[in-house]
Amino acid sequence: MLESVRQYFQDWSDACEYANECAPDLSFLGNGEPFTALLFIAAACYLAWAANEARIHRRGQAPTTVSAPANELKTVVAQMQQAQAAPEKLAA
Protein backbone atom coordinates (compact mmCIF):
# COMPACT_ATOMS: atom_id res chain seq x y z
CA MET A 1 0.00 0.00 0.00
CA LEU A 2 2.66 2.52 1.00
CA GLU A 3 4.75 1.57 -2.00
CA SER A 4 1.92 2.45 -4.38
CA VAL A 5 1.35 5.80 -2.66
CA ARG A 6 5.07 6.58 -2.82
CA GLN A 7 5.14 5.63 -6.49
CA TYR A 8 2.12 7.88 -7.20
CA PHE A 9 3.76 10.89 -5.61
CA GLN A 10 7.04 10.16 -7.37
CA ASP A 11 5.29 9.98 -10.74
CA TRP A 12 3.43 13.22 -10.01
CA SER A 13 6.67 14.94 -9.02
CA ASP A 14 8.46 13.74 -12.16
CA ALA A 15 5.62 14.89 -14.42
CA CYS A 16 5.49 18.21 -12.63
CA GLU A 17 9.19 18.85 -13.10
CA TYR A 18 9.07 17.76 -16.73
CA ALA A 19 6.15 20.02 -17.61
CA ASN A 20 7.31 22.96 -15.45
CA GLU A 21 3.72 23.44 -14.30
CA CYS A 22 3.99 22.75 -10.59
CA ALA A 23 2.72 26.16 -9.55
CA PRO A 24 -0.11 28.18 -11.02
CA ASP A 25 0.84 30.94 -13.42
CA LEU A 26 0.53 34.21 -11.53
CA SER A 27 2.62 36.31 -13.89
CA PHE A 28 -0.28 38.71 -14.45
CA LEU A 29 0.28 40.11 -10.94
CA GLY A 30 3.54 41.72 -11.98
CA ASN A 31 6.91 41.63 -10.37
CA GLY A 32 6.28 44.11 -7.57
CA GLU A 33 7.02 41.37 -5.09
CA PRO A 34 7.02 43.17 -1.72
CA PHE A 35 3.97 45.22 -2.67
CA THR A 36 1.86 42.26 -3.78
CA ALA A 37 2.74 40.41 -0.58
CA LEU A 38 1.79 43.44 1.52
CA LEU A 39 -1.45 43.78 -0.42
CA PHE A 40 -2.39 40.16 0.22
CA ILE A 41 -1.51 40.49 3.93
CA ALA A 42 -3.63 43.67 4.21
CA ALA A 43 -6.54 41.96 2.45
CA ALA A 44 -6.34 38.96 4.79
CA CYS A 45 -6.28 41.23 7.85
CA TYR A 46 -9.26 43.19 6.57
CA LEU A 47 -11.25 40.02 5.92
CA ALA A 48 -10.48 38.72 9.41
CA TRP A 49 -11.51 42.06 10.95
CA ALA A 50 -14.73 42.21 8.93
CA ALA A 51 -15.64 38.64 9.87
CA ASN A 52 -15.05 39.36 13.56
CA GLU A 53 -17.10 42.55 13.46
CA ALA A 54 -19.98 40.79 11.71
CA ARG A 55 -19.88 37.98 14.29
CA ILE A 56 -19.93 40.47 17.17
CA HIS A 57 -22.92 42.35 15.76
CA ARG A 58 -24.74 39.13 14.93
CA ARG A 59 -24.43 37.90 18.51
CA GLY A 60 -25.65 41.20 19.88
CA GLN A 61 -22.61 41.54 22.10
CA ALA A 62 -21.69 44.98 20.84
CA PRO A 63 -21.61 47.43 23.75
CA THR A 64 -24.27 50.04 23.15
CA THR A 65 -24.38 51.98 26.41
CA VAL A 66 -22.22 52.19 29.48
CA SER A 67 -24.76 53.95 31.68
CA ALA A 68 -25.39 51.12 34.18
CA PRO A 69 -21.76 50.71 35.35
CA ALA A 70 -21.31 54.50 35.37
CA ASN A 71 -24.34 54.92 37.68
CA GLU A 72 -23.03 52.21 39.99
CA LEU A 73 -19.65 53.91 40.11
CA LYS A 74 -21.26 57.26 40.97
CA THR A 75 -23.18 55.73 43.88
CA VAL A 76 -20.03 54.06 45.23
CA VAL A 77 -18.10 57.34 45.02
CA ALA A 78 -20.93 59.17 46.80
CA GLN A 79 -20.92 56.57 49.60
CA MET A 80 -17.17 56.87 49.97
CA GLN A 81 -17.37 60.65 50.24
CA GLN A 82 -20.07 60.41 52.90
CA ALA A 83 -18.07 57.86 54.86
CA GLN A 84 -15.01 60.12 55.12
CA ALA A 85 -14.88 61.62 58.57
CA ALA A 86 -13.50 65.03 59.44
CA PRO A 87 -9.81 64.93 60.25
CA GLU A 88 -9.29 64.32 63.95
CA LYS A 89 -6.82 66.20 66.07
CA LEU A 90 -4.04 64.05 67.31
CA ALA A 91 -3.06 64.23 70.96
CA ALA A 92 0.27 65.88 71.55
Establish if 52 belongs to a structural domain: yes
Establish if 66 belongs to a structural domain: no
Establish if 43 belongs to a structural domain: yes
Q: Please report which confidence band the pLDDT of residue 35 belongs to, taking 50, 70 and 90 as the band edges.
A: confident
Q: Is the pTM of this model over 0.75?
A: no
The number of folded domains in the chain is 1
Q: What is the pLDDT of residue 48?
A: 97
Establish if 47 belongs to a structural domain: yes
Establish if 50 belongs to a structural domain: yes
CA distance 51 to 86: 56
Instruction: For residue range 20-30, list pLDDT tens digits in order.
Output: 666 655 666 66
Establish if 84 belongs to a structural domain: no
Q: Which domain holds residue 40?
A: 30-61
Instruction: For residue range 36-86, list pLDDT tens digits in order.
Output: 788 899 999 999 999 999 998 888 765 555 556 777 888 888 888 776 655
Establish if 46 belongs to a structural domain: yes
CA distance 24 to 31: 15
DSSP string, 24-80: ---GGG-S-HHHHHHHHHHHHHHHHHHHHHHHHHHHT-S----HHHHHHHHHHHHHH
